[in-house]
Structure 1
Amino acid sequence: MTNSPTEKIKIACLQFEPHFGDITGNLTRSIAMIEKAADAGASVIILPELANSGYVFRSRSEAFSLSELIPDGPSSRAWAEVAARRRIYLVAGMAERESNRLYNSAVIIGPSGIIGTYRKLHLWGDENLWFEAGNLGVPVFATPFGRLGVAICYDSWFPEVFRLAAVQGADLVCVPTNWVPIPGQAEGQKPMANILHMAAAHSNSIIIACADRVGIERGQPFLGHSLIVSHTGWPVAGPASGDKEEILCGEVDLSAARKDRNWNSFNHPLRDRRTDVYAEHLGAELAVQRELRHCNREQ
C-alpha cells in the first residue's frame, strides 16, 4: 500500500438506536445523522454494528430476510450515494448475504463507491446460529488520508485483531459495535469495552473509533459509551452517554500515530515484537497472500 497519512482529520461516531426490522427507517435516520456529521466537518463516519436492521434476531430466516448483498443492496447503495455527495468515508455494520451464507459485516465506502467489506471474525452468543464466521481476515484499506482497518464488537476482545491491522500498516481502526453489559462492572466504572480499546490503541500506536448503539431491543440492553481513542490510548472524544443518541466527533492526527511509535531511544511497540518466539503475522499469512494476489491482478 502506497498511501500515507498527510493531515489531521475529523472522525464521527454515530451513536443511535436502530429500530428492529425497519431498514428503510434506519437508513433514513442514519443518513440524517451522517449529513449532520458531515456538516460538522467529519470526513470519516462510523455507524454501529447491524445499523440498518437491528441486532436481536429470533431465527435464521428472520436474519436472512433482513440481510443484503454488498455492493448491490439498498443499504449499500443509499450509503454510497450520501458518501459520494458529501465526499466522505463511511464504515457501517449490516447483515451481508452471499448466496445462502450470512455474515455480520461492515461495508467500507468512499466518495467513489464501495472500497471493501469486513466480516466479523469472532461471533458472540446467538450470532453463531445465524452467521458464518468471517473469512476475509483482517484487511487494511488504503485511503487518501491513511490506512484503515475494521473490527466489529467481540473482535475487539482478541488483541490479535488490532495487532494484525497495525503490522499491515493501519493508522485507524473503525469499530461498528453493539456492546452489551459485562457482569461484575461496579457502578461508575468505565465499561470494559472502553478499557480494552484504550489499551489496544496504546499498545499498537493506532487510532481506534468505536460507534455503539443505545436502547433496549427485545429485552437486550446496549451500553452506548461510543469512544474515539488517540494512538496514545487516551480518549479524544467520549465516552458518549449510555442511553442517548449522539454524534461523537474528534480530530485525530494519523501521521502522529505512525511517528510516535518510537516511544524513546530504544522502544517501538511493533519493532520490539519477539518474532523469534511467536509468528510475525500471528496467523495473518492468508491475509497477506490475498493482498499479494490482489496486487498481482492490478499489475
Structure 2
Amino acid sequence: MDKISVGLLQLSAGDSPEENFEKTISFIREAADLGAQIICTQELFKTKYFCQVESWDYFKFAEPVNENSPTIRELSKTAKDKNVVIIASLFEKRAEGIYHNTVAVIDADGKYLGKYRKMHIPDDPQFYEKFYFTPGDLGYKTFRTKYAKIGTLICWDQWFPEAARLTAMKGADIIFYPTAIGWLPEEKETEGEIQYSAWETVQRGHAVANGCYVASVNRVGFEESPDRKTGIQFWGQSFICDPMGKITKKASPDKEEILIDEVDLSKIDKTRTVWPFFRDRRIETYTDLTKRWLED
C-alpha cells in the first residue's frame, strides 16, 4: 500500500480528563469516517498542559499504559471498530514514584503494539516537565502497523536530530510528533514568529535529512497557568511534510480541526535514491556524538 491517509487531531483541552477523552474518541471516529487510516492525538490529550507549574496534585492524572488499562481498551475498541491505527499520547504511571510522558500505538485490528516513552524532558519556564516525567528508557521505537511502519517521538524530542535519525534508521516511514507547544504572552510579540519558524524548520529538516514523512500535531487555545500568573497560547499549526521537507498540509493557528492528508510512501525510496544520505554517512567519524561536549 503506497498511498495512505494520515489524520492529526488538533484540539483544545478542558478541565475534565473524562470529557477530553470522550471528545477525542469522537474526533477519532470522525477522522476515520473522513478517510484517515492512521490517527494521532496531540501530546497529553486527556488534560490541560499541567506542566506549567510544579504540583503534586497533577500526578493523579497518571495511569498505567498497557493492553489491560481502561484507556487502552477503549482506544483498542475504537481502532478495531473503525479499522484505524491510533497513536495516543498519555501520562503513564509506571510504578509508585515513576512516571513517563508516553505514546501508545494501537493497530487497526485493535491490537496494542506497544509504547514509546519521551526521551528528552524539558525544564523551562511554564514547561516544568522534569518535575513529572522520568526520561524514557525504551529506546527509539518503530511500530509495524497495517498501513505503514511508523516512528513516534514526543514534543521536545523534535529538536534533536539524533532522535529522528535513529527512529528513521529503524525503518520509520512516518515520524509522528505529538506536541504541546506555544507562546508565553510576554514573548509572543517579540519572539513569536522566530520561535514558530524554528519549530517548523527543524522538523522539516528531519524529513529532508532522513528522507521520510514527518507529522507534527499540536494543541490550540490559551491555557491559563494554574497559579493564574501567566499561561500559554498554543500555536496549533499542526502539519505534515514529505521526504523533501515540503509541507503538504497545515492546520490553522487557533481552531480545532482534523487535518487529513494523503501520503505516498513510494516517495521515500525515490527521495533516498536521489539524495542517498544513508549511503554516504561516515559512521566511523561519529563516535564523539556520545560525548556531552568537545573541548578544544
User: TM-score, normalised to structure 1's length?
Assistant: 0.85
Aligned counterpart, 2:104: 107
1:59 Cα offset (Å):
4.2
Q: Does 2:244 align with 1:232?
A: yes
1:16 corresponds to 2:16: no
Which of residues 13, 19, 44 is equivalent to 1:50? Answer: 44
User: 2:235 is matched with which residue: 206, 220, 223?
Assistant: 223
Aligned residues: 272
The Cα shift of 1:259 comes to 3.3
Q: Structure 1: which 5+ residue stretches go unaligned? A: 1-5, 284-299
| SS of aligned partner of 2:235 | coil
Q: TM-score, normalised by structure 2?
A: 0.86
| One-letter identity of the residue aligned with 1:116 | G
Measured against aligned partners, the alpha-carbon deviations of 1:226-275 in whole angstroms (never above 9, x if no partner) come to 0011111001111x111110111110011321332011xxx401111111
**Structure 2 counterpart of 1:85:** 81
Q: Secondary structure at the match of 1:148?
A: strand
Once the two structures are superposed, the pairs formed by residues 149-160 of structure 1 within 5 Å of their partners are 149-160=151-162
Cα shift readout 1:108-133 (whole Å, capped 9, x = no counterpart) = 11123211101111112210011101
Alignment partner of 1:196 out of 183, 199, 202 = 202
| Distance apart, 1:80 and its partner CA | 1.4
- Aligned partner of residue 13 in structure 1, secondary structure: strand
User: Which of 114, 117, 139 does residue 116 from structure 1 map onto?
Assistant: 114
* Runs (5+) with no aligned partner, structure 2: 226-230, 291-296
Aligned partners of 1:209 and 1:227 also within 8 Å? yes
Is it true that 1:207 corresponds to 2:202 in the alignment?
A: no
Q: How does 1:257-276 map to 2 (within 5 A)?
A: 257-263=268-274, 267-276=275-284
Distance 1:62 1:165, change over 3 A: same
Which residue is equivalent to 1:32? 26
Aligned-partner residue type, residue 90 of structure 2: M
Identity of aligned residues (%): 33
* Aligned residues of 2:183 and 2:232 also touching (Cα < 8 A): no
CA distance in 1, matches of 2:266, 2:111: 25
Deviates more, 1:180-189 or 1:37-46: 180-189
Q: How far off its partner does 1:204 sit?
A: 0.6
Matched residue, 1:75: 71
Q: Is the 8 A contact 1:212 1:223 kept in 2?
A: yes
CA deviation after TM superposition for structure 1 residue 191, in Å: 3.2
- Matched residue of 2:23: which SS? helix
Q: Distance in 2 between matches of 1:115 and 1:258?
A: 26
CA RMSD of superposed structures (Å)? 2.0
**Aligned partner of 2:2 among 4, 7, 25:** 7
Match of 1:243 among 249, 254, 261: 254
Which structure: greater helix fraction? 2
**Higher deviation after alignment, 72-81 or 91-100:** 72-81
CA–CA separation in structure 2 for the residues paired with 1:189 and 1:73: 37
SS at match of 1:221: strand
| Distance apart, 1:144 and its partner CA | 2.9
Further displaced range: 179-188 or 42-51: 179-188
Cα distance in 2, alignment partners of residues 55 and 190 from structure 1: 19
